[in-house]
Amino acid sequence: MSFVFDASKPIALGADHAGIDFKNQVKTWLEEKGFTVKDFGTYNTDSVDYPDFAHPTASSVETGESSFGILFCGSANGVAMTANKHAGIRAGLCWETEIAELTRLHNDANMICIPARYVSIALAKEMITKFMETAFEGGRHQNRVNKIAC
């Protein structure tokens, strides 16, 4: 089933200690834009294990409780790997706006994973905006997406 952004549902957010500042800034930014956000932590800068926050964030998207998810960590690799363990999740690691667009357009991603140590907050917001605005293209990409799940 193709992901379509549903503004009536919350946006799920999660981060580890390396991504908490981005998570908090994005949370405020989204709320100022009128979106509801479900924050799965972390809530301070103490060192934590990223799966403890990526799993509940991904579960919220997988169950349909949240429209889509945003995860932050230092490189975003760990949270992306963790989220993608969930059968209903297609989490894409994004570091440029065009990658965020293609992750939606070609891969029907329902989570965006952002490397807080390697992009600016302004770029993170641009990527999230592009992710939210871009629809899955379908067509030849649908067959490929159908082959992702094991």
- Taking CA atoms, 134 is separated from 74, 93, 106, 115, in Å, by 25, 16, 10, 20
Q: How many CB atoms lie within 10 A of CB 125?
A: 16
Q: Which of 73, 86, 94, 113 is catalytic?
A: 73
Nearest of 125, 52, 131 to residue 92 by alpha carbon: 131
Q: Which of 17, 55, 86, 106 is catalytic?
A: 106
Query: Is 106 an annotated catalytic residue?
Result: yes
- Phi-psi bin for 80: left (phi > 0), alpha (psi -120 to 50), beta? alpha
Query: Is 86 an annotated catalytic residue?
Result: no
Any idea which residues carry the catalytic annotation? 73, 106
